[in-house]
Structure 1
């Protein structure tokens, strides 16, 4: 980085990557940086990002201006876009998967009846002495 580039960054000029914006906007969820930047009219560059992520780069002065507005609560930021909101905490810490209890409720009755009939027929066929007409009886 040359002396002119360093002076530009000190004056608030230049372009920042998404990672650099995340450092300046710690209150914003990483997945919401692009939409918050768009909602608050932060200029973006069409040039490819230096980190090769295809993310746009953000105008440094605009990012710092919006950072001040975020701190004052004046920026256009939805509650779910904030990293320090209840919604963000709920998304960041998913609970264990909810397991549905096995029930023998009315929705299972037809299946249970069918199962009972099949098991009954199998047992009846296995316990009968003459096997109720086998293939050999049919062939004679």
Structure 2
């Protein structure tokens, strides 16, 4: 541990986990914490967080500075990253999957032609007189 880390700890600074940052940034979706931190130049540590999740830890002074900027509307937070936006509400609302009907449309025609050619070749090879005796020797 360096002198700078010890000084940060004495000043009440230090490093915060993602959960602690989420408490200070309630306007930001939990899934967007890392992206918002990067966009706002928050320093991160590669050291494992206290909860051993493998998530980076965030510099407390930077997080508090950005929290104030987000509150004033000056922080770099995209609309879909905000917890209070319509996009966040839409993502949180479960929607049944959209099922598209499958038909005999123009998209399927090349596949159907290829299937017909393959079936025709197989039938032709089984019934042709010059099949080298493969079917007739097997049946006899």
The TM-score with structure 2 as length reference comes to 0.64
Alignment RMSD = 2.6
SS at structure 1 position matched to 2:90: helix
Rounded Cα–Cα distance in structure 1 between residues aligned with 2:104 and 2:43:
60
Q: CA deviation at 1:56?
A: 0.6
2:83 is aligned with 1:86: no
Q: CA deviation at 1:100?
A: 4.3
Which structure has the larger Rg?
1
Written as runs of structure 1 = structure 2, the 5 A alignment for 1:68-107 is: 68-100=68-100, 107=105
The answer for unaligned runs of 5 or more in structure 2 is 1-6, 113-140
Rounded Cα–Cα distance in structure 1 between residues aligned with 2:65 and 2:8:
19
> Using a 3 Å threshold, how does the CA distance of structure 1 residues 90 and 64 change in structure 2: closer, same or farther?
same
Q: How many residues align?
A: 102
The TM-score with structure 1 as length reference comes to 0.64
Choose which of 7, 11, 21 in structure 2 pairs with 1:8.
11
